[in-house]
Amino acid sequence: MASSSTCCSNSYYTFLSLFVRVILLFSCLVKPGLAAGSNFNQEFDVYWGDGRAKYLNNGQLLTLTLDKTSGSGIVSKKEYLFGRIDMQLKLVPGNSAGTVTTYYLSSQGSNHDEIDLEFLGNLSGDPYILHTNVYTQGQGGREQQFYLWFDPTANFHTYSILWNPLSIIFYVDGTPIRVFRNSASKGIPYPNNQPMKVYASLWDAEDWATRGGLVKTDWSQAPFNASFRNYKANACVWANGKSSCGTNSTKMPWFSQELDSTSEARLHWAQKNYMIYNYCADTRRFPQGFPPECTINT
Ligand SMILES: *[C@@H]1O[C@H](CO)[C@@H](O)[C@H](O)[C@H]1NC(C)=O
Ligand SMILES: *[C@@H]1O[C@H](CO)[C@@H](O)[C@H](O)[C@H]1NC(C)=O
Ligand SMILES: *[C@@H]1O[C@H](CO)[C@@H](O)[C@H](O)[C@H]1NC(C)=O
């Protein structure tokens, strides 16, 4: 009998807590600032992995899967020339060593431009590395790596790429972690004339990802899953040689956004405490002196 009363009071509380959650959910949904992200189904094509990329919740959620046979990836249908792209990611939990989850912008062709965020997995409890890079005119080699100040597998976090004619800024939950400024006037190529698509993928890179390739993928944990939601592209769509922004681009705040002093301070906080590799400080790699942009992007 005691067990039946336990049962009933439990279910009463379960009902109550469910009710409260439903109310909370609705109060979130109606807040104008929390508009749902774009529909993955409408905005992306699966370019790799067939059924391993799945659109759920009416296209509001994407899961990418990696197993021994294949990883998976999606690419945006639209191309953009400048934009602010936001995406929320929840990374592969548990032993994710050897796996790499990516989210990046890239143009086509051999002299391509690319703006990269890659999340290098690790053994359970060991930190992920957020690996960033910028390619201009086919040339990369501008790696900066960071630890995160939270467990990126426990919840969704927002990773943003701001790309405008002045600079490229990488953000984690609104905190800038990296800036690459337009220094074309000083002869450093800047991505400003090749439209890019948005990509996301999950793949295996056990030969280099975790502790430089020392830790291999544990396939007994497969399939590995990463989740994506709240994709937002505040961006100029490039089609038929024209930008959807026309001459209006100057009216869009992100188009001329730069780091103000508060964001500069946040950037320095993130770099001081969480940056673990910076090509601009790698004297072994650049014994003759650092690439020219290094003095500009600090
Ligand atoms: C994995 O954990 C080790 C040990 O803490 C650390 O050295 C390494 O930077 C971490 N991340 C990756 C991707 O190797
Ligand atoms: C990954 O997702 C698949 C289905 O898509 C599921 O069967 C599997 O259990 C998930 N793996 C983990 C570790 O959550
Ligand atoms: C520019 O803005 C005006 C007014 O806001 C709008 O009517 C027009 O369609 C916009 N043009 C483009 C190309 O977006």
Encode pLDDT of 120-140 as tens digits: 999 999 999 999 999 999 999
Looking up residue 286, the CATH number of its domain turns out to be 2.60.120.200
Domain contains 1: no
What are the Cα distances from residue 101, in Å, to 81, 97, 149, 156?
24, 11, 18, 14
Note whether residue 187 is domain-resident: yes
- Whether 19 maps to a domain, the answer reads no
Kindly tell me if the per-residue pLDDT of 202 is higher than 80: yes
Q: For residue 114, indicate whether it is catalytic.
A: yes
In a domain, 73, yes or no: yes
Answer whether residue 11 shows pLDDT above 90.
Answer: no
Asked, for residue 24, whether it belongs to a domain, the answer is: no
In a domain, 21, yes or no: no
Counting atoms of ligand 2 from 1, which one is nearest the CA of 225?
Answer: 1
Query: Can you point out the beta strands (E) in 109-196?
Result: 114-120, 129-135, 144-146, 157-163, 167-172, 175-181
Instruction: List the domain range (segments joined by +) for residue 125.
Output: 40-295
The average pLDDT across 50-75 equals 97
As a whole number, the mean pLDDT across the chain is 89
The pLDDT assigned to 251 comes to: 77
Active-site annotation holder among 43, 118, 206, 293? 118
The closest-lying atom of ligand 2 relative to the alpha carbon of residue 52 is 5
The answer to whether the beta carbons of residues 101 and 220 sit under 8 Å apart is no
**169 domain-assigned:** yes
Considering the entire predicted model, what is its pTM? Answer: 0.86
The answer to whether residue 57 sits within a structural domain is yes
Phi, psi of 204 (to 5 degrees): -105, 130
Residue 210 has a pLDDT of 93
Ligand 1, pocket-test mutation among 117, 126, 146, most atoms within 8 A of CB? 126
Residue 293 falls in the annotated catalytic set: no
Total domains in the fold of the chain: 1
